[in-house]
């Protein structure tokens, strides 16, 4: 920085009170140093030194500047380092959104790794449904969102990437009649009480649920909810069975039965794809660092 270089030159001359000695201290020749000090004085609009053929003395303005020069130089250096850290994402702010289903397992790991890699970066966290998260990223109120992607979120301005596969499993109360099966034939779900996902607020899970039920021509008696924690609570309360991503089961702590579905030939097992979304034109330098963590997987 020009200010830092000028202050370094000024301090050397002010402490040595001799241009030749100051130039030697700075490992430069005397003429460029003299010219630099004159230009510095012109830029500031004050004389910093009284020069004669025999001596160099500080003016009152020069003495004041010397008193503060080291502090100014330290502040300038600190500012430069902070700017450089900000430019590469070592410092700054990341607005991160996450869906309800990531709280159980994925989010804690992501945050732990992020704080190890970017300890100086502040995080602003927001928990929303996946549909709302996509809207917030698109409107620039969030930098990145960890969500369950669905086709309704498609936008020319959004980029997204799958970061984990999360198989869906059948869950039911501990005393549910279907718990006697090691693998539950999907046709046995027909007509039973079912806690299902609503198309508004849980589009990703709703699409998975409807696809597998329709493929097997099964229609349970569905009560729709939008939030996964609500769904789990209703299942535990005996309101019905449900399909949930495997990653959330560690939080149920044995309060629910889980079983894989036995599907007809040609019917694919439902798998939830956990994704991250961000705007392609987002210039926040922290975004690539978070994307690198998310892309590493192992969630």
pLDDT tens, position by position, 156-186: 789 999 999 999 999 999 999 999 999 999 9
- For residues 87-126, one letter each, b for 16 or more C-beta atoms within 10 angstroms of the residue's C-beta and e for the rest, the string is eebbbbebbbbbbbbbebbbbeebeebbeeebeebeeeee
Q: What is the mean pLDDT of the chain?
A: 90
The predicted pLDDT at position 105 comes to 84
Fold of 5-88: Arc Repressor Mutant, subunit A (1.10.10)
| Residue pLDDT, tens place only, 201-219 | 888 999 999 999 998 899 9
Same fold? 92-163+274-296, 164-272: yes
- pTM of the predicted protein model: 0.72
Q: Considering the domain 92-163+274-296, what is its CATH architecture?
A: 3-Layer(aba) Sandwich (3.40)
Q: How confident is the model at residue 19 (pLDDT cuts 50, 70, 90)?
A: very high
Class of domain 164-272: alpha beta
| Residue pLDDT, tens place only, 29-84 | 999 999 999 999 999 899 999 998 888 999 999 999 998 888 888 888 777 777 77
Query: What residue spans define the domains of the chain?
Result: 5-88, 92-163+274-296, 164-272
| Residue pLDDT, tens place only, 127-152 | 999 989 999 999 999 999 999 988 77
């Amino acid at each position: 920085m020009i200010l830092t270089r000028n202050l370094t030159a000024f301090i050397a001359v002010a402490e040595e009170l001799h241009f030749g000695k100051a130039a030697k201290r700075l490992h430069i020749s005397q003429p460029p140093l003299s010219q630099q000090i004159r230009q510095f004085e012109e830029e500031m609009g004050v004389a910093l030194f009284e020069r004669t053929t025999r001596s160099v003395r500080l003016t009152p303005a020069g003495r004041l500047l010397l008193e503060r020069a080291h502090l100014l130089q330290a502040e300038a250096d600190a500012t430069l380092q902070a700017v450089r850290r900000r430019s590469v994402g070592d410092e700054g702010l990341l607005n991160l959104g996450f869906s309800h289903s990531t709280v159980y397992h994925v989010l804690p790991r992501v945050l732990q790794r992020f704080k190890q890699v970017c300890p100086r970066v502040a995080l602003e966290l927001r928990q929303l449904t996946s549909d709302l998260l996509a809207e917030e990223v698109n409107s620039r109120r969030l930098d990145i969102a960890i969500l369950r992607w669905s086709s309704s979120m498609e936008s020319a301005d959004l980029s997204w990437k799958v970061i984990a596969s999360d198989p869906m499993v059948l869950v039911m109360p501990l005393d549910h009649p279907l718990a006697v099966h090691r693998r539950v034939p999907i046709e046995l779900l027909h007509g039973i009480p079912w806690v299902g996902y609503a198309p508004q607020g849980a589009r990703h899970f709703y699409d998975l649920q409807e696809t597998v039920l329709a493929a097997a021509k099964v229609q349970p008696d569905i009560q729709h909810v939008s939030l996964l924690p609500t769904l789990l609570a209703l299942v535990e309360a005996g309101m019905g069975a449900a399909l949930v991503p495997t990653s959330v089961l560690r939080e149920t702590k044995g309060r629910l039965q889980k079983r894989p579905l036995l599907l007809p030939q040609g019917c694919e097992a439902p798998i939830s794809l956990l994704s991250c979304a961000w705007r392609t034109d987002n210039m926040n330098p922290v975004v690539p660092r978070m994307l690198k963590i998310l892309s590493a997987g192992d969630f």
